Structure 1
Amino acid sequence: MPVFEQLGLYEDLLRISYPNYCSHVYNGSTMEYITKFDNPELMEKMGYDYVVFSRVELYRLLLSRIPKDKILFNKRILSVKQDESKVTIRAADNTAYEGCILVGADGAYSAVRQNLYKQLEKEGLLPYDDMKQMDIKYSILVGTTKSLPTEFHEHLKNSFTHNALMIGDDSSYTLTTKVSQDESFRSSGWPAETHQDLIEKVHDFKTPYGPLRRLIDHTDKDRISKMFLENKLFKTWYHGRVVLIGDAVHKLLPSSGQGAVNAMQDAVLLANCLYEINSWRPEEITTAFKDYKEHRFSHCRKQFTYSERTACIMYGQKWWQKLMRNIVCRLLPSSALSRDVNKEASYRPQVSFLPQTPKRGTMDVQPQRASKIR
């Protein structure tokens, strides 16, 4: 949020967003109300609310600020080659592009990472852990409904988002719903695939809005996808003129809601390190990339562990995971549950070469190194 303020995007972001004050947890079989996760002092302490928005609307907002000639679409990367003076990528349409550096921000199955690692493995420079495949922890069915009429449920009359988690204690399924009056949720960035067999299995699952089929019936089939949730923290973040950020180098489970946040924080810290480069000589690039990793690795490792732990509590079906869930949901006070959130909120890296956003909220913020260049 402070970076969005720096970029002059904060108010625009709020206009496409809905606050998310609380998450309610139910037993997926009986719809017994278990608990809620909230943080009533969030705004006072952090200075910001949690907000929910459509990815498509965020993309539109960001794209509206970027000159159209700076972005090329439909480019599938086939190869990456680098030498002392440049890095070159070649796309499937037989076009090629050269630059001083290449930032691989292309997701969990990053083509940039795969090309880089293939070369490092040939040279005997790739750690063994980075040769292993990502762990597939869960498979999920995701969907976004059409715009729903307010008569569908009274929650749609509110100006904030309702978040519900139905935990399948008697099955291998856990269900999450987010309901908001925002019409932009009609759009989705997920691939258009149909998985009728799994849809039929979950058709009668219970939700606060009636059987899940009520939501499915208001969802276009090409807005429903089956996806896999992987996680992995890679050790190799850069080599030569190539550097990785976001899911390309640390794929977190979505249970903690920190994947996109950490990707954006990567971008901020990498930009800060690149800003201080005096030339594009290999040794200066390596110093900047090393500095970037040193700023980010320990924080990402904590987030990786936290996302795994949260996933066990939210989705786990083993006896010890159910025990953990009962302890967290029924015994721990809300103050204990919000402690991790407050600690995470104190980490707010900003763009060092732009005017700093004044601190919001009462909580202490982790100090940030000032730019060496004024």
Structure 2
Amino acid sequence: MGPSKTMTEPARSTGPVLVAGAGIGGLTAALALARVGHKVIVAERSPELAEVGAGLQLSPNACHVLEQIGALDAIHGAGFEPEAVRIRSARSGEDITRLPLGSSLRKRFGAPYLVVHRADLQRALFDTANKHPEIEFRFGHKVAGLEDEPDAPVRVRFETTSGSTNIDAFAVIGADGVWSALRGMIPGHSEARFSGRTAYRATVSSSRVPDDLLTDTGLWLGNDAHLVHYPVHGSKDFNIVALIEEDWTEKTWSGSVDRASFLQHFGRWAPEVKALLSVPDTWLKWALCGVDGSGPWTHGRLALLGDAAHGMLPFAAQGAGMAIEDAAVLASCLKPGTDSPVAALKTYEAKRKDRVVKVQQTAVSNGKIYHLSGPMAFARDTVMRLAPPARLSSRMDWIYGWKPPA
């Protein structure tokens, strides 16, 4: 199932761009590629659209792309625009600071900051793509091999419920997630690795939580753990994510949760936050795994995108954002009819890699800061309390201020 030995550029490539994966990155890529004139085939291993996961955050850099591909209005209707990030001490329950979002970010960057359920985002992207005459979907297609020979289209072999089938393409985009099959076809690729962090996620009706939690994104900082929450589904529901430093002993990378054991992690947290954590009747947990973005993303006419190239920790809230940015840059580099798709994909990788690796490093750094304890946590909280909120917020300007190519 490895890559072909040749790297020779074909004399002339024609045909559709094949996108493997109908997640957020793959769907955004399909829309961006169709926008510049490509016919696109999206091949997804699941038999139908897999609407899974929990909430995520879309900062202005991502929203600019979503507006460009014609999906932002649908997403905005299903999402929520918080006024601020309210940061609190998990131990005392006291406010540390409140960083402006909402109208403040719209004014500075010309696009909103939204929180949305992953399933709503995926559905909005799919519905937009499914209406596009140049985008075709093929579900139940599991990648089984790839051939990239000169003077011929790239051929990807798939396993389906009815047997093997091939798709010939101008180029292949691996948007098939952290456990990407296509990444294994790139020599020297980075392996996905467990980060030592686990995410526990739950969604409840907004009617079950205090009203003062329904206007902002909440961030609670604790020893070796932190908590994030915000409204989703147009504020009808409430998304809660607890992120904990711990070992992973399950046989799979997700699993069910023993509620009593889970709540023991928060025995010393403030009563208000313990009450919130007691609201969900069930939780699901995921091992947080990442992919080093500094590894190779391309080989011949194959390129990786999103988590397949650079799966990252959620501590900068940019996993979806970086996949969405990837899609816009990819489409700007891979023009229809180009004589050199190999060079175009290399250009895409070169344009994206430094920024993505810096965002990955920021997420790792944030995770360490969020989980400080003792005197270091006291010093962190003091600095954040004394600093003007606008100054703290401006540390993310280099991320939020990015805009896609025209």
Q: TM-score range by the shorter chain?
A: 0.7 to 0.9
Partners of 2:206 and 2:235 within 8 A in 1: no
- Alpha-carbon offset, residue 105 of structure 1: 0.7
What code does the residue aligned with 1:238 have? T
In the alignment, what sits opposite 1:346?
A: 401
Q: Is 1:164 aligned to residue 218 of structure 2? A: yes
Task: Say which of 216, 224, 227 aligns to 2:284.
Answer: 224
Task: Say which of 385, 389, 397 aligns to 1:334.
Answer: 389
Figure out how many residues of one structure are paired with residues of the other and give that number.
Answer: 322
- Alpha-carbon offset, residue 275 of structure 1: 1.5
What code does the residue aligned with 2:211 have? E
- Find the residue that maps to 1:176 and give its secondary structure: strand
- CA offsets 1:278-304 (integer angstroms, 9 cap, x no match): 34xxxx012111221222122222212
What code does the residue aligned with 1:102 have? V
Task: Say which of 297, 301, 314 aligns to 2:370.
Answer: 314
In the alignment, what sits opposite 1:88?
A: 155
In the alignment, what sits opposite 1:182?
A: 235
In the alignment, what sits opposite 2:144?
A: 78
What code does the residue aligned with 1:297 have? K
Q: Is 1:245 aligned to residue 305 of structure 2? A: yes
CA distance in 2, matches of 1:192, 1:135: 14
In the alignment, what sits opposite 1:153?
A: 210
- Find the residue that maps to 2:285 and give its secondary structure: strand
CA distance in 2, matches of 1:241, 1:112: 12
- Find the residue that maps to 1:232 and give its secondary structure: coil
In the alignment, what sits opposite 1:364?
A: none
- Alpha-carbon offset, residue 323 of structure 1: 6.6
- Alpha-carbon offset, residue 216 of structure 1: 2.1
What code does the residue aligned with 1:199 have? F
- Find the residue that maps to 1:164 and give its secondary structure: strand
CA distance in 2, matches of 1:201, 1:97: 51
Partners of 1:101 and 1:241 within 8 A in 2: yes
- Find the residue that maps to 2:85 and give its secondary structure: strand
- CA offsets 1:135-164 (integer angstroms, 9 cap, x no match): 533422322323242x642247x5x4x322
CA distance in 1, matches of 2:65, 2:278: 39
CA distance in 2, matches of 1:318, 1:88: 57
Give TM-score scaled by structure 2 length: 0.70
What code does the residue aligned with 2:275 have? P
Partners of 1:313 and 1:324 within 8 A in 2: no
CA RMSD of aligned residues (A): 3.1
Partners of 1:250 and 1:300 within 8 A in 2: yes
What code does the residue aligned with 2:332 have? N
In the alignment, what sits opposite 2:23?
A: none
- Alpha-carbon offset, residue 338 of structure 1: 1.9
CA distance in 2, matches of 1:41, 1:65: 29
Give TM-score scaled by structure 1 length: 0.75
Task: Say which of 349, 353, 356 aligns to 1:300.
Answer: 356
- Alpha-carbon offset, residue 269 of structure 1: 1.0
- CA offsets 1:315-357 (integer angstroms, 9 cap, x no match): 345975x37733642343323312232232331014x4xxxxx
Q: Is 1:108 aligned to residue 108 of structure 2? A: no
- Find the residue that maps to 1:174 and give its secondary structure: strand
- Find the residue that maps to 2:359 and give its secondary structure: helix
- Find the residue that maps to 2:205 and give its secondary structure: coil
Over 3 Å counting, the alpha-carbon distance change for 1:247 and 1:289 in structure 2 is same
What code does the residue aligned with 1:167 have? L
Deviates more, 1:268-277 or 1:66-75: 66-75
Q: Is 1:54 aligned to residue 117 of structure 2? A: yes
What code does the residue aligned with 1:96 have? T
Partners of 2:192 and 2:290 within 8 A in 1: yes
Over 3 Å counting, the alpha-carbon distance change for 1:166 and 1:346 in structure 2 is closer
Q: Which stretches in structure 2 are left out of the alignment for 5+ residues?
A: 1-62, 242-252
Q: Is 1:144 aligned to residue 202 of structure 2? A: yes
CA distance in 2, matches of 1:341, 1:146: 30
Over 3 Å counting, the alpha-carbon distance change for 1:147 and 1:212 in structure 2 is closer
In the alignment, what sits opposite 1:11?
A: 73
Identity across matched positions, percent: 22
Task: Say which of 28, 50, 61 aligns to 2:90.
Answer: 28
Over 3 Å counting, the alpha-carbon distance change for 1:316 and 1:90 in structure 2 is farther
CA distance in 2, matches of 1:234, 1:91: 28
In the alignment, what sits opposite 1:366?
A: none
- Find the residue that maps to 1:44 and give its secondary structure: helix
Partners of 1:24 and 1:37 within 8 A in 2: yes
- Alpha-carbon offset, residue 198 of structure 1: 4.4
Structure with the larger strand share: 2
- Alpha-carbon offset, residue 232 of structure 1: 1.7
Q: Is 1:288 aligned to residue 344 of structure 2? A: yes
Over 3 Å counting, the alpha-carbon distance change for 1:27 and 1:5 in structure 2 is closer
Query: Where do 1:128-143 residues align within 5 Å?
Result: 130=189, 133-143=191-201
CA distance in 2, matches of 1:212, 1:202: 14
Over 3 Å counting, the alpha-carbon distance change for 1:185 and 1:154 in structure 2 is closer
